[in-house]
Structure 1
Amino acid sequence: MLTAFNFGEAIVMVTGAGGGMGRSIAESFAARGGTVYVTDIEESAAQETAQLINVAGGHAIARQLDVTDANAMDALANDIFEAHGRIDALINNAGVTMRPFRAIWDASAQDFEWMMRINYFGVINGLRSFIPRMREQGSRAHIVNTSSFAAIDTIPGHGMYTASKAAVDGISNVLRAEFEDQGDDIGVTILYPGQVTTRIGTSERLRDAAERSDVREVKAYEMKNLSNPHNEPLAPEFVGDMVITAIERNAPFVLTHPAPTDNLKARVEKLNSGYFGLHSQASH
């Protein structure tokens, strides 16, 4: 059982906070009295979020941050610990995707690498830079890693993104178990956004110009049989308070939409039917 999280004095770092869900999460922490380090690869966007928070009476500090740069993440962690002696909430939210959707066999090696470098290793850099000192500070803390509905549903044409977010799931679940095993007062929550209306669909603006999909002949995936009726558009402004609630409850998961239970149940049934062990062999 973790101790209660103190939002009123929280020191928080949010990646990808220049807009969308990251901005909403930063605003929700600030509204409860926290000091928020607002980071984004686009410095002007980080400054805009910080200004909105500060004008509203909160306390935010804008920093430009490329989450793929481990040295830059270390430098930010050093600054935060030198200034405050601790961090209470680490929100690894920065992420990218590509348009159009494409089949796995139509994606380039550079597509896979770019997606994984930001969506997965961006999270890893945050964890490696902050966790050792979070554990040493000995106070209640929390980590939120942004995954996606793509990791718990099956979306043809979205394989690269799914793979990067499934990696986030794997590391987050094990991290939670390790904290529990070691008795650390640190919670871990996976955020699963569905169709939240952010700018993530335009994130290739951040790629090298020659690698962007709009300058290459990328074959768009044509979905033939599947749909996602659970995935109704949701404004990002609602996500921040969802995350706050999850931290209050130390919830392992927070979803922006109802869970795709039919798909998840079918997956469990297929897992059960896939065991061909000694008992199964003896029955035939």
Structure 2
Amino acid sequence: MKDFKDKVAVITGAANGIGFAVAQECARRGIKIVIADIDGPDLKRAERQLKEEGAEVLAVEMDVMKYEDMEMLAKEALEKFQHVDLLFNNAGVVVAGPAWLLSMNDWEWIMKANVWGVIHGQKVFIPIMLKQDTECHIVNTSSVAGLLSLNGMSAYHTSKFASVGLSESTYLDLQCETDKIKMSVFCPGFIQTDLDNCEKHRPKKYANDMSQPYYQSDLYKKEEQQKHKVIKGGMPIDTIGLTIFEAIEEEKFYILTHSELNPLIGLRVKNVFEGGSPSMTVIKGIK
């Protein structure tokens, strides 16, 4: 896809971070924008800013973890703009900690947001795109954490590896149906976003009992500090929207941001072929 004027984009997790950066790039390209987010106040702020930048915007407060909310998002998008050409399944959360110490609420929350949120987006919007029979593109936001692993992020890696696998297999399925719907999976390294503050969006049903030993431990405090450190010290977000759209123009499937991590991705593949093991020695050299 190279002609974006008057196309319609739906973006989840659009009130902040990568989603908002994508929305701003949409505005620069004359794309009509549907921004969706669970954070109502931030969503209104994003809507105001995009309109000030000259964009035609529809803001929809919704929760990607709820299938009925995704259906509502599609309904409102079609009522407003009649078609959807670009879908950015971008909303996501992060929790840190070893697999055996995280609560079931941690696991269920991150899998529901990071995996089921994408499943819901694809389930609702791909049939719409197939029916339109027009040129479309879907971008699923995963992470370089879906291509290689670090310690202390077991749940996040699990969800992001699932997101990459879901994107790859869905694209293969689409190739059997149509040549008009393209896909990409966005696998950024650490970027300066608000992802490390996603706890404010955790639903009550997934709330942790913070009196439990792990959540009172020095290890938990250390993992939380590391989470904030790597995100706030990440790549500036300024060029991310452009990076994604250049990949869409070139029909790239895998979109990466940190070339310095490519050798580690290659090492993982090498270990798979040779029966090697993940190495803390290597990880300590990059953290």
Q: Does 1:109 align with 2:104?
A: yes
1:184 offset after TM fit, Å? Answer: 3.0
Q: Select between 203-212 and 53-62 the one with higher mean Cα deviation.
A: 203-212
1:267 aligned partner: 268
Q: Select between 259-268 and 81-90 the one with higher mean Cα deviation.
A: 259-268
What TM-score do the two structures reach when normalised by structure 2? 0.85
Amino-acid identity (%)? 29
1:10 offset after TM fit, Å? Answer: 0.9
1:233-252: CA deviation from partner (whole Å, max 9, x where unpaired): 21223211111111111110
Aligned Cα RMSD in Å? Answer: 2.2
Larger Rg: 1 or 2?
Answer: 1
What TM-score do the two structures reach when normalised by structure 1? 0.86
1:6 aligned partner: 3
SS at match of 2:238: helix
Amino acid at match of 2:160: K
Of 121, 131, 137, the residue aligned with 1:136 is: 131
1:258 aligned partner: 259
1:274 offset after TM fit, Å? Answer: 4.0
SS at match of 1:8: coil
Q: Does 1:234 align with 2:235?
A: yes
Distance 1:46 1:103, change over 3 A: same
1:111 offset after TM fit, Å? Answer: 0.7
Distance 2:9 2:3 in 1: 11
Amino acid at match of 1:86: H
Distance 2:177 2:129 in 1: 13
Distance 1:213 1:143, change over 3 A: farther
Of 181, 188, 212, the residue aligned with 1:186 is: 181
Distance 1:191 1:64, change over 3 A: same
CA contact (8 A) 1:13 1:90 kept: yes
1:133 offset after TM fit, Å? Answer: 1.3
Distance 2:58 2:233 in 1: 33
2:52 aligned partner: 55
5+ residue gaps, structure 1:
224-228, 276-284
SS at match of 1:136: helix
1:37 offset after TM fit, Å? Answer: 0.6
Distance 1:52 1:160, change over 3 A: same
1:212 offset after TM fit, Å? Answer: 4.4
